[in-house]
Amino acid sequence: MRKPTKMFFLLLLSICYSQDIIDPFSQPNDSTLAWYGSGDVDGDNDVDWDDYSLMTSIQNDMSDLNGDGIPSTAEDQHILSDYLNGIIAHLPSQWNKLPTRQERIDWLDKMLAIDQTDTMTYNSPSWICNDYAFETKVVFAGFNKADVGDNDLPPKYGIGGNGRFNIPVYYSTLSIPGVTFHGRNSINVDNIAGDPYAYIHPDQQENGPLNDLFVLGENWNPPIGSTVKIFNITQIGDFDGNYYPLYGDKLIEFVMDSTENLQVQYLNPNLLISRPTVATEEESSMPESFCLTSIYPNPTNSQVNIKFTLPHDDNVSIEVFDINGRLVQSINLGIKEQGNHKVSWNAHSVSSGIYHVVLRNEQRVFDTRKVVVLK
Q: Residue 4 belongs to what H/E stretch? A: none
Segment 114-169, tens digit of pLDDT: 988 877 776 665 677 778 888 888 889 887 665 554 446 666 777 678 889 999 99
Domains and CATH numbers, the chain: 8-110 (no CATH), 117-267 (no CATH), 284-373 (2.60.40.10)
Residues 6+ apart with CB under 8 A from 71: 59, 60, 61, 62, 63, 64
> Between residues 200 and 310, which one has the greater pLDDT?
310
- Cα–Cα distance, 333 to 315 (Å, whole number): 7
- Cα–Cα distance, 203 to 215 (Å, whole number): 11
Tell me how far CA of residue 342 lies from CA of 243, 294, 316, 329, 338, in angstroms.
58, 9, 13, 17, 13
Segment 357-370, tens digit of pLDDT: 888 888 766 777 87
pLDDT of residue 125: 59
Supply the pTM of this predicted model.
Answer: 0.67
pLDDT of residue 145: 60
